Amino acid sequence: MSDEEEGLIEEHVQKLGPKFPVIRAPKGMSTYGGRFYPSTFTIGPDGQILTVPDDHMPGEAFLEEQLAGVSLAPKLPDDPRFDAVRQFWNKRDHKKLAEYLDRMLAQEKLSEDLRTVFVAQREELDRRIERQVARVAKLGEGPDYCAASNSLEKLAKDWKGLAPEAAAEKELERFGKDPQIKKELAAGKALEKLLSGFDTTRLAQARKLLDELPKFVKRYEGTHAAKRATDLRSQLAEQVRGG
């Protein structure tokens, strides 16, 4: 995605021959806070920006973790009788989906073809519930408790009234009581605030951020955010040298 002139985009495509779609999106970079080309973002299905170029390139493990939270409707017969099920899946309204499936399966005179589909859907929902509970446990291990906290809050909302919500709320409660995790949360939020105040596409601001990052690392020494800040400083140092 680029907000450059159409001619420049065409030149880029012809020269490099990328194997992925390239589109022109006016104000695309400014909308997402892009500061340089190429900029890589990870964006959740709800539009939430999960990582930005100034943060880190998302690794395979991170992407797998995010994909685990995507709830797409499993395949259903093209039959209007299943529209309610399809709608609950698409809206991520898992609690109402569970209630609806249980209510339908409780009907004694339910036709066999409908029962077969509803049983399969309930089994799929149960599998996803189990995966989300396991995901909560994984998020609770850290080390990026700031990102984990955001994910747990969203997960609790998506799975309200079901086991994943209870598990997520329990982890969030633990986060709020654990002194070390509270320190990690504060450090993560402080780093986000610090980075938001600099436009690293401008050499002068990149240099200022280079001066600020060691102070941050010293203040939050031993935290995951401090490690991220150290890695970012190395990247910025190369950028400044090349600028």
Report yes or no on 70 lying in a domain. Answer: no
Helix or strand run (H / E) with residue 130? helix 112-139
Domain final position from 130, 152, 177: 177
Which of the listed residues 161, 177, 193 is the one where a domain comes to its end? Answer: 177
Share of the chain above pLDDT 70, in %: 84
Check whether residue 110 and residue 199 sit in a common domain. Answer: no
Stated as kind and residue range, the H or E segment containing 228 is helix 224-242
**Which of these three, 129, 152, 177, is where a domain ends?**
177
Regarding whether 89 and 140 lie in a shared domain, the answer is yes
CB 114 within 8 A of CB 103: no
8-state DSSP, 230: H
Angle at 231 (CA atoms; ends 229, 232), nearest 5 degrees? 60
pLDDT of residue 132: 93
| Phi, psi of 193, deg, nearest 5 | -65, -40
> Quick check: pTM over 0.75?
no
pLDDT of amino acid 11: 77
Q: Is residue 143 domain-shared with residue 192, that is, in the same domain?
A: no
Q: Is residue 88 situated within a structural domain?
A: yes
| Residue 231 maps to a domain | yes
Counting the structural domains of the chain, the total is 2
- Tell me which DSSP letter residue 49 carries: E
Q: Are residues 154 and 219 in the same domain?
A: no
Q: What kind and span of H or E run contains 50?
A: strand 49-51
pLDDT at 243: 59
Q: Which domain holds residue 235?
A: 180-243
Comparison of pLDDT for 162 and 201, the residue scoring more: 162
8 A C-beta contact, residue 76 and residue 86: yes
42: in domain: no
How does the average pLDDT of the chain come out, rounded? 85
207 domain residue, yes or no: yes
Whether 151 and 187 map to the same domain: the answer is no
The answer to whether residue 211 sits within a structural domain is yes
Structure tokens at 77: 């017969």
- pLDDT-based confidence at residue 5 (cuts at 50, 70, 90): confident
Lowest mean pLDDT among 18-32, 66-80, 116-130, 185-199: 18-32
pLDDT range class, residue 60, cuts 50, 70, 90: low
Whether 125 and 161 have beta carbons less than 8 Å apart is answered as no
Quick one: 90 and 129 in the same domain?
yes
How far apart CA 233 and CA 116 sit, in angstroms, is: 57
Q: Please indicate, yes or no, if residue 36 is contained in any of the structural domains.
A: no
- For the stretch 229-241, pLDDT in tens is 998 888 888 877 7
Token code pair at residue 179: 């002194």
- Mark whether 84 and 173 lie in a shared domain: yes
Contact (Cβ atoms closer than 8 angstroms) between residue 203 and residue 240: yes
The CA-CA-CA angle for residues 93, 146, 162, to 5°, reads 25
